[in-house]
Amino acid sequence: MQIGMVGLGKMGGNMAERLRRGGHDVVGYDRDPAVSDVSGLEELVERLQAPRTVWVMVPSGDPTRATVKALGDLLSPGDILVDGGNSHYVDDQKHGAELAAKGIGFVDCGVSGGVWGLQNGYALMVGGEKADVERVMPVFETLKPEGEDGFVHAGTVGAGHFAKMVHNGIEYGMMQAFAEGWELLEASDIVTDVAGSFKSWRQGTVIRSWLLDLMVRALDEDPSLSELEGYAQDSGEGRWAVQAAVEHAVPLPVITAALYARFASRQDDSPAMKVVAALRNQFGGHAVTSKAGAAEKGADSPGADVTPPVETAG
């Protein structure tokens, strides 16, 4: 099958390579001319035979919106556009309606697999009209892992990225659980082989998983993780999952806490904890730490002499 691929970065480039290895005719475009087959989107569309299929694999948000709009002006009725990035499902619904008005099909595809996808295949969560999805199935079959699993036509337009959003929210929670378990093991004075403990869980336990395998791999490379900063970004899906949970009145305590933990990781000096420290000092005279790093005496400090405020009626 012939397909145009827009965006040949870490994910898009490997996906294009997997498709080529599977016998597909891939015409790729990227802003980097060193990896691009064409000079621009217009030439990409001209190189493809109608009815065309174009897969967009660029960063979510404005880059994807701009690319979809540009392709919507270049493609013809009967063509199909696939958004394989990490777009918000709300954007999918808008894009689907706008392209449908022009007779262009739209399929949203949540993709999981990261840098290992070229070798192992990509898990694909797809949303769109049945006829559009069936036309792109040869591509999906090549990209997915071998076997029955690894692909789902989750529902209508937006369903693919909604499913991927929930998938990533679960991923947030699982990663946070592994992280907290590691920190507790490290803090213990009786566990002397933390990395070995994680390795032991890879067989015969209910938490064995690819994510655990990756954790063991990271500890093999850096047993104390001393080469890393405790700073974690988020790519958006966790926020959208929490927002969707509020809209649907679904409790998401684990995923929400994992998202907030990432926010906290980016603070060198927590503004909220400054307030907590100030209030503890005010009502209880508890010790606080100054900017200079020295602990100032409070009611719970040795030798402290703090007189509580006189209570008056009012």
The domains of the chain are located at 2-156, 164-265
Class of the CATH domain delimited by 164-265 = mainly alpha
pLDDT in tens, the chain (314 residues): 999 999 999 999 999 999 999 999 999 999 999 999 999 999 999 999 999 999 999 999 999 999 999 999 999 999 999 999 999 999 999 999 999 999 999 999 999 988 889 999 999 999 999 999 999 999 999 999 999 999 999 999 999 999 999 999 999 999 999 999 999 999 999 999 999 999 999 999 999 999 999 999 999 999 888 888 888 888 789 999 999 999 999 999 999 999 999 999 998 888 888 888 888 888 878 787 877 655 555 544 444 444 444 444 44
pLDDT at 277: 85
pLDDT at 314: 44
Q: What string of H, E and C letters represents the secondary structure of 26-91?
A: EEEECCCCCCCCCCCHHHHHHHCCCCCEEEECCCCCHHHHHHHHHHHHHCCCCCEEEECCCCCHHH
Q: Is this structure's pTM higher than 0.75?
A: yes
> Which candidate in 42, 171, 199, 297 is catalytic?
171
Q: Is 199 a catalytic residue?
A: no
Q: Is 171 a catalytic residue?
A: yes
* CA atoms of 7 and 177, how far apart (whole Å): 33
Dig out the tokens for 310 from the structure: 């006189």
Element (H, E) at 204: none
* CA atoms of 49 and 60, how far apart (whole Å): 27
pLDDT at 66: 97
Q: Are strands 105-112 and 80-83 parallel, antiparallel or unpaired?
A: parallel
* CA atoms of 304 and 241, how far apart (whole Å): 48
CATH 3.40.462.10 fits 2-156, yes or no: no
3-state DSSP call for residue 205?
coil
Dig out the tokens for 18 from the structure: 């997997």
pLDDT at 303: 43
* Contact criterion met (CB below 8 Å) for 160 and 125: yes
pLDDT at 296: 56
Q: Which residue has the tokens 């071998």?
A: 146
For the chain, percent of residues with pLDDT exceeding 70: 92
Q: Which residues of 120-149 are buried (b: 16+ CB within 10 A; e: fewer)?
A: ebbbbbbbbbeebbebbebbbebbbbeeee
